[in-house]
A and B are shown apart, each in its own frame.
Chain A
Amino acid sequence: DTGVSQNPRHKITKRGQNVTFRCDPISEHNRLYWYRQTLGQGPEFLTYFQNEAQLEKSRLLSDRFSAERPKGSFSTLEIQRTEQGDSAMYLCASSLNSGGVSETQYFGPGTRLLVL
C-alpha cells in the first residue's frame, strides 16, 4: 500500500508525559500537513512542511508541540507535558505542491491520543 501511514494508531498516556507520533507520506509528495480533530469537529490545521522546511504553524500549536521533517520524507509530531485537552485524533496528510487552490491532500488513518 503506498498511501499515507501513521504510527501508532492509538496512544494512551498519563498527563505530563511526552508522546511522539510518526507520519510517512506518499513517496513522491513534497508537502506534509498535520491536523488535529476533536470529537464532532472537522480537522484543524496545525502545521505543514514543504520538503524539510516548516512553512507555517497554527496558533493552535503551542510551544509544547514540535514537528520535524528532517530529510523531507517522514515527519514526527511531539507533544511535551501532555494535558487532557490534547486528547484528539492527530491526522497527517500529504500532497504534491500544485501551487494553488486545487492542491489535494491525502490523509493517513490518524493517531488517536487519549491523555488520562
Chain B
Amino acid sequence: AQKITQTQPGMFVQEKEAVTLDCTYDTSDPSYGLFWYKQPSSGEMIFLIYQGSYDQQNATEGRYSLNFQKARKSANLVISASQLGDSAMYFCAMRERNTGGFKTIFGAGTRLFVKA
C-alpha cells in the first residue's frame, strides 16, 4: 500500500491565485511528521513546511500553509498568491517510526505550473 499519495500529477494555476496540492498518507502510528518540499528544475529539494501529528494548529510559513485533516489523513499544501517562481515539483513526505528508528517516505510529487 502507498504510504504517501499525491493524486495530482500536474496542476495549473494563474499567477496571483491560490492553489491547493493534495496529499494523503497512511500510518497506524499516532506520532508522525508531515513535510512538504519544492524541487525546481535545478534538482535541489527545498524544505517548505512541517506539521506534527499532535500539533493543534495548521502550520503556516509565509505564503505556504498546510491544511491538516487528521481524521481524513490528509495534509494538503496551500500556496497563496502564486508566483511564476513557484513552478516546480512539490513532494509530500511523512516521517514515522519504523524498525530501528525513524524513516521519511516521499510521495511521487505534483508538478505545478504557474501561468502569467
Interfacial chain B residues near A110, Cβ < 8 Å: 43-44
**Inter-chain contact A102/B52, CB cutoff 8 Å:** yes
Contact of A101 among B37, B42, B96 (CB under 8 A): B96
**Inter-chain contact B106/A43, CB cutoff 8 Å:** yes
| Assembly CA distance A103 to B43 (angstroms) | 22
Contact with A along B75-116 (1 / 0, CB 8 A): 000000000000000010101110011111111110000000
Tell me if A's interface is mostly helix, strand, loop or mixed.
loop
Interface size class of B (residues with CB under 8 A): 20 to 34
**Inter-chain contact A43/B45, CB cutoff 8 Å:** yes
Which of B14-22, B27-35, B64-72 lies at the interface? Answer: B27-35
Q: 28 A-B residue contacts at CB 8 Å?
A: A40-B108, A41-B108, A42-B106, A42-B108, A43-B45, A43-B91, A43-B106, A44-B106, A55-B101, A56-B100, A56-B101, A89-B43, A91-B43, A100-B33, A101-B32, A101-B33, A101-B53, A102-B33, A103-B33, A103-B95, A103-B102, A104-B35, A104-B50, A105-B47, A107-B45, A108-B44, A109-B44, A112-B43
